[in-house]
Amino acid sequence: MKFSSKVTSITPSTTLAITAKAKELKAQGHDVIGLGAGEPDFNTPSYIIEASYKSMVEGHTKYTPAGGLPELKNVIIEKFKNDQHIEYSPEEIIVTNGAKHSLALLFQTILQEDDEVIIPSPYWVSYPEQVKIAGGKPVFVEGKEENEFKVTKEQLEKVVTNKTRALIVNSPSNPTGVMYEKDELKEIGQFCLDNDLLIVSDEIYEKLIYGGKNHISIAEVSEEIKNNTIIINGVSKSHSMTGWRIGYTAGHAEIIKKMTTLASHTTSNPAVMAQHGTIAAYQQEDGSVEKMRQSFEERLHKVLPELESIPGFKCVKPQGAFYLFPNVKEAVQTGGFASTDEWVTALLEEEKVAVVPGSGFGSPDNIRLSYATDLDSFLEAVNRIRQFVQRKSS
């Protein structure tokens, strides 16, 4: 059987693969602790569930416009006014089946064959694959660990070509949890303006920030940069609504129009009851989001020192999201493993702890651990990892 070259060129998700292996071992009766999932371990707040249920009872179970309910677009517009102090019109908003769908539609809309997209690494696993599916070419720029995994203007200048179409900015980052400061965003934004590049700003973790810091969107920096930016966001992480599949995109009206046309021929519209739940999520906030954020911050303060105490582990302190991304190169080498991937497989098989190898994020010396799990389980996982490292190095 013959398959599309676009399908055969993409790499399966490392995150989903390790999660599937962990579930398989659990089904066999093993006591597996999974630290691979990229979703909050809290249920969706009850007021959102109730609003969604109410909408169905009232008969909101039919098709909606492909780009989302007008009332939801208006709520999103208000959200941008309140949180980022920037303004959009309904024509500049599309609601999608999750932020991942937003990105897929965007790349298929803006990329011609062999157009290049600059992707800072470490990166979320789906960025390069989505660019390839759209016929584009991912161009990677390494965010140095000594610079908190962030890229600089000087690095970007070395890779930009006449084929470069866009740059991805993910702040706070998956997998590192680091954030760009306003002056850094300003420099990157000006670089994109100077080189006529679209800025794709993935802000899905904007509500999960720690240490008293505030989220800054690159679109806030200036009106000129805003007009050159496409914001990707959603309620999956902020409101623990991963399964509801509601994301959205804000940006230039012509891009949004083309994305909406593409969506109309592929998915029709996001689930109507989930859209009504999202309206409630933003309009009826009851403190659940802040409670969840505080819980993640408390976990971070407790688990980071424990993780850093493991021999051969070094970790940049995250400022947002719910991941730790330690460098384990020393532990891997001391343990006699050829690669971090091999080390991760052995850890799962021997200690029944599932973490994600950094190779899937473009950083082969690191691993990603999600602390979106209960504290006792995470601390037990750290103890198992410590035992594993000590046993392999002895």
pLDDT tens digits, 180-232: 999 999 999 999 999 999 999 999 999 999 999 999 999 999 999 999 999 99
**Residue spans per domain, the chain:** 5-43+288-393, 46-283
Which among 253, 271, 238, 229 has a CA at the least distance from the CA of 101?
Answer: 271
CA angle 216, 222, 225 (to 5 degrees): 95
CA distance 4 to 9: 9
- What 3-state class would DSSP assign to 296? helix
Per DSSP bridges, beta strands 247-250 and 229-234 are antiparallel
Contacts of 290 (CB under 8 A, 6+ apart): none
- Over residues 89-100, the pLDDT tens digits come to 999 999 999 999
In sign, the C-alpha dihedral spanning 326, 329, 334, 336 is positive
What percent of the chain has pLDDT above 70? 100
- How high is the pLDDT of residue 14? 72
Mean pLDDT of the chain: 96
Give 46-283's CATH code, choosing from 1.10.150.120, 2.40.50.140, 1.25.40.850, 3.40.640.10.
Answer: 3.40.640.10
CA angle 276, 279, 283 (to 5 degrees): 145
CB 175 within 8 A of CB 358: yes
- How high is the pLDDT of residue 332? 98
Q: Is the pLDDT of residue 15 over 80?
A: no
CB 179 within 8 A of CB 319: yes
- What 3-state class would DSSP assign to 18? helix
CB 275 within 8 A of CB 62: no
CA distances from residue 114 to 6, 117, 197 in whole angstroms, order as listed:
12, 9, 15
- How high is the pLDDT of residue 180? 98
What percent of the chain has pLDDT above 90? 92
- Over residues 37-70, the pLDDT tens digits come to 889 999 999 999 999 999 999 999 999 999 999 9
- How high is the pLDDT of residue 265? 97
- How high is the pLDDT of residue 40? 95
- Over residues 112-149, the pLDDT tens digits come to 999 999 999 999 999 999 999 999 999 999 999 999 99
- Over residues 241-259, the pLDDT tens digits come to 999 999 999 999 999 999 9
Same CATH fold assignment for domains 5-43+288-393 and 46-283: no
- Give the full edge-to-edge strand order of the sheet including 247-250: 93-96, 247-250, 229-234, 198-202, 164-170, 116-121, 137-142
CA distances from residue 18 to 24, 208, 344, 349 in whole angstroms, order as listed:
10, 24, 9, 12
Token code pair at residue 276? 């009504």
Global pTM reads 0.96
Q: Where are the alpha helices (DSSP H) in the chain?
A: 5-8, 14-27, 46-57, 70-83, 99-110, 126-133, 153-159, 182-194, 223-226, 253-264, 272-283, 288-308, 329-334, 340-351, 375-393
Residue 175 dihedral angles phi and psi, to the nearest 5°: -110, 0
Give 5-43+288-393's CATH code, choosing from 3.30.360.10, 3.90.1150.10, 3.40.50.10470, 2.60.40.10.
Answer: 3.90.1150.10
CA distance 45 to 173: 24
Confidence of residue 13 (pLDDT cuts 50, 70, 90): confident
